[in-house]
């Protein structure tokens, strides 16, 4: 049984794909600027492009998570969404706030706090928007027939993500204090509560796609939540090594952040094991590809490449270099980009009634995007390691080093082109499914 109000999800997913396209555009602007084609400099200098690129990333992922919640919560709670009209109001206001922020960045209306560049007054609108979203999701869940572990973990992730936005809004005169609390948002999101969102979506998808008992799948989910909190909270210390706070963080951050890959390892093992155990052969292979892909690539991007620079002895050299960008790309893509695409791939045929499971364009999208992103990661990695040696070991001038490593950005652009081709294929496939219909949702799925 499906619920008509799940249709709202489609529009959040469409917004998500639109913003992803824009994010990629700004990525290319930076890539070309890095190899000397900085022709847009007058209008879009590198720092503006960077802020737009990363903020668009956050907004398309949030829009994807919200779409996921609007799709999953009614189905798990077994009732329609409490108010569909308000969900559309929330969608439109999310798009407006996002666009206002991005336009503002082009007129230098932003704060120089990486990832939290949105000016504080606009932050209040973000808060109102998210409160509306949470209100709709949580009332639907608690008025529903059942409150499953999957739905609770997903909702708790979303609720905590909203609460953790607040410390980032506190005003401080001290750079150290500002930095200290900025990480409560940036770190505790991606290495804490967003993992719960990912775990919730992963669990929903595995229940649907593998047919393994909910009890078995949700037991794993507890393990993942446990490992996440055990390591991720004190793991925040890996951003506190040399920012001017107590030195105890060097030990605490080093030890706990080194444990963080365990949660991602558990997710990868979880997904692969459930796939092996599963007897149900769901025809939606594309959704399965993206689901298993998210679990595996996140382990590599977040777990392994995160570990690569998390010990204080290493981070002393790699901090803030392109080594960070290497890890940032594969981690964000694997964990959060791919899980959003996985839930879209699963839900789209159910919402539109067009079961394009076997499309070769869909398969090409998966491989091009992933091979392209792995290539980009390698390009950033090679550039980053070269940067660390030249700048930090051999004390070469910062700009001279940037000049030396610009060749790696040619490789980056080539790989990014393959990635973009994959995303273009994906969007064509998305478009081919057509619009969601009530009939398709009434029909239900496998
Ligand atoms: C496909 C085209 C893309 C290109 C050409 C591109 C390029 C870039 C460049 C040049 C930077 C700035 C690095 C620097 O500081 O010099 C950057 C930053 C960043 N990009 Fe991309 N990007 C692309 C797509 C993506 C995607 C799809 C994601 C996420 C899934 C992503 C996530 C990020 C993140 C998180 C940062 C900040 C990294 C840091 O904190 O150091 N990018 N990107
Ligand atoms: C999906 C999960 C993850 C995502 C999306 C992610 C993304 C990022 C991004 C974007 C940055 C740059 C932040 C900034 O400078 O403002 C960063 C920094 C960092 N990440 Fe992750 N990360 C994840 C998981 C991990 C894990 C599990 C570890 C450790 C095992 C880790 C270790 C680090 C370290 C040490 C830094 C600081 C780099 C520096 O000093 O410049 N990350 N991460
Ligand atoms: Fe972190």
Nearest residue to 8 via CA among 99, 58, 82, 76: 82
Q: DSSP readout, 4-69? A: GGGGHHHHHHHHHHHHHHHHHHHHHHHHHHHTT--TTTTTS-HHHHHHHHHHHHHHHHHHHHHHHH
For residue 53, the CA-to-ligand 1 centroid distance in Å is 7
CA distance 284 to 345: 8
For ligand 2, say whether the CB of 350 is within 6 Å of any of its atoms: no
CA distance 273 to 295: 11
The token pair at 301 is: 């991007």
CA dihedral 287, 291, 296, 299 (to 10 degrees): 150
pLDDT in tens, 187-198: 999 999 999 999
CA distance 79 to 73: 9
Exposed (0-12), middle (13-18) or buried (19+): which is 323, by Cβ within 10 Å?
A: buried
Query: Cα 49 vs. chain centroid, distance in angstroms?
Result: 19
For ligand 1, say whether the CB of 24 is within 6 Å of any of its atoms: yes
CA distance 6 to 57: 24
Query: pLDDT averaged over the chain?
Result: 96
CA distance 415 to 326: 13
The token pair at 166 is: 């607040």
CA distance 68 to 9: 7
For ligand 2, say whether the CB of 335 is within 6 Å of any of its atoms: yes
What secondary structure, in 3-state letters, does 394-410 show?
Answer: CCCCHHHHHHHCCHHHH
For ligand 1, say whether the CB of 332 is within 6 Å of any of its atoms: yes
**How many CB atoms within 10 Å of residue 90?**
24
Q: What is the pLDDT of residue 281?
A: 79
In the chain, which stretches have pLDDT less than 70? 1, 444-446
Closest ligand to 401 CA? 1
Helix (H) or strand (E) holding 97: helix 84-106
Nearest residue to 269 via CA among 184, 199, 188, 369: 199
Closest ligand to 53 CA? 1
For residue 114, the CA-to-ligand 3 centroid distance in Å is 13
**Nearest protein Cα to ligand 1, atom 42:** 329
Contacts of 328 (CB under 8 A, 6+ apart): none
**Nearest protein Cα to ligand 1, atom 22:** 27
**Nearest protein Cα to ligand 2, atom 39:** 319
CA distance 319 to 388: 9
For ligand 1, say whether the CB of 31 is within 6 Å of any of its atoms: yes
**How many CB atoms within 10 Å of residue 88?**
12
For residue 28, the CA-to-ligand 1 centroid distance in Å is 9
For residue 238, the CA-to-ligand 3 centroid distance in Å is 6
The token pair at 326 is: 């290497």
For residue 325, the CA-to-ligand 2 centroid distance in Å is 9
Biggest distance spanned by C-alpha atoms of the chain: 66
Closest ligand to 327 CA? 2
pLDDT in tens, 126-136: 999 999 999 99
Contacts of 40 (CB under 8 A, 6+ apart): 29, 33
For ligand 2, say whether the CB of 380 is within 6 Å of any of its atoms: no
Closest ligand to 235 CA? 3
**Nearest protein Cα to ligand 2, atom 10:** 328
Contacts of 324 (CB under 8 A, 6+ apart): 309, 318, 384
Ligand 1: nearest atom to the Cα of 420: 1
- Pocket-testing residue among 324, 334, 340, 384, ligand 2, by greatest number of atoms within 8 A of Cβ: 324
**Nearest protein Cα to ligand 1, atom 3:** 27
For ligand 2, say whether the CB of 257 is within 6 Å of any of its atoms: yes
**Nearest protein Cα to ligand 1, atom 4:** 27
The token pair at 139 is: 């009332």
Which 3 state secondary structure label does DSSP give 82? coil
Closest ligand to 233 CA? 3
């Amino acid at each position: 049984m499906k619920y008509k109000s799940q249709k709202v999800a489609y529009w959040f997913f469409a917004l998500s794909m639109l913003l992803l396209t824009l994010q990629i555009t700004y990525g290319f602007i930076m890539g070309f600027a890095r190899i000397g084609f900085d022709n847009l400099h007058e209008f879009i200098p590198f720092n503006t492009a960077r802020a737009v690129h990363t903020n668009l990333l956050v907004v398309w992922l949030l829009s994807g998570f919200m779409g996921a919640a609007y799709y999953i919560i009614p189905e798990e709670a077994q009732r329609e969404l409490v108010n569909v009209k308000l969900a559309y109001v929330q969608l439109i206001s999310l798009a407006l706030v996002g666009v206002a922020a991005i336009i503002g960045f082009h007129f230098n209306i932003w704060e120089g706090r990486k990832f939290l560049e949105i000016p504080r007054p606009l932050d209040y609108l973000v808060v109102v928007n998210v409160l509306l979203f949470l209100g709709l999701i949580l009332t639907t869940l608690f008025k529903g027939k059942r409150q499953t572990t999957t739905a609770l973990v997903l909702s708790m992730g979303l609720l905590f993500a909203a609460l953790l936005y607040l410390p980032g809004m506190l005003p401080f005169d001290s750079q150290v204090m500002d930095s200290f609390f900025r990480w409560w948002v940036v770190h505790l999101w991606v290495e804490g509560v967003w993992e719960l969102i990912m775990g919730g979506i992963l669990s929903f998808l595995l229940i649907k796609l593998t047919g393994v008992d909910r009890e078995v799948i949700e037991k794993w989910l507890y393990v993942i939540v446990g490992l996440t909190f055990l390591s991720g909270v004190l793991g925040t210390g890996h951003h506190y090594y040399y920012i001017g706070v107590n030195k105890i963080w060097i030990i605490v951050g080093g030890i706990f952040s080194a444990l963080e890959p365990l949660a991602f390892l558990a997710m990868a093992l979880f997904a692969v094991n459930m796939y092996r155990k599963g007897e149900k052969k769901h025809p939606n292979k594309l959704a399965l590809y993206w689901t298993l892909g998210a679990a595996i690539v996140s382990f590599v991007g977040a777990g392994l490449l995160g570990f690569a620079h998390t010990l204080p002895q290493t981070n002393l050299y790699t901090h803030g270099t392109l080594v960070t960008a290497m890890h940032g790309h594969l981690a964000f893509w694997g964990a959060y980009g791919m899980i959003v695409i996985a839930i879209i791939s699963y839900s789209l045929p159910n919402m539109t009634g067009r079961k394009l499971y076997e499309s070769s364009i869909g398969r090409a999208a998966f491989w091009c995007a992933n091979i392209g992103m792995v290539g980009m990661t390698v390009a950033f990695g090679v550039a980053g390691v070269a940067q660390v040696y030249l700048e930090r070991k051999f004390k070469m001038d910062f700009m001279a080093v940037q000049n030396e490593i610009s060749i790696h950005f040619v490789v980056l652009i080539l790989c990014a082109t393959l990635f973009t081709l994959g995303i273009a294929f994906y969007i064509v496939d998305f478009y081919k499914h057509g619009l969601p219909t009530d009939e398709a949702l009434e029909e239900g799925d496998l």
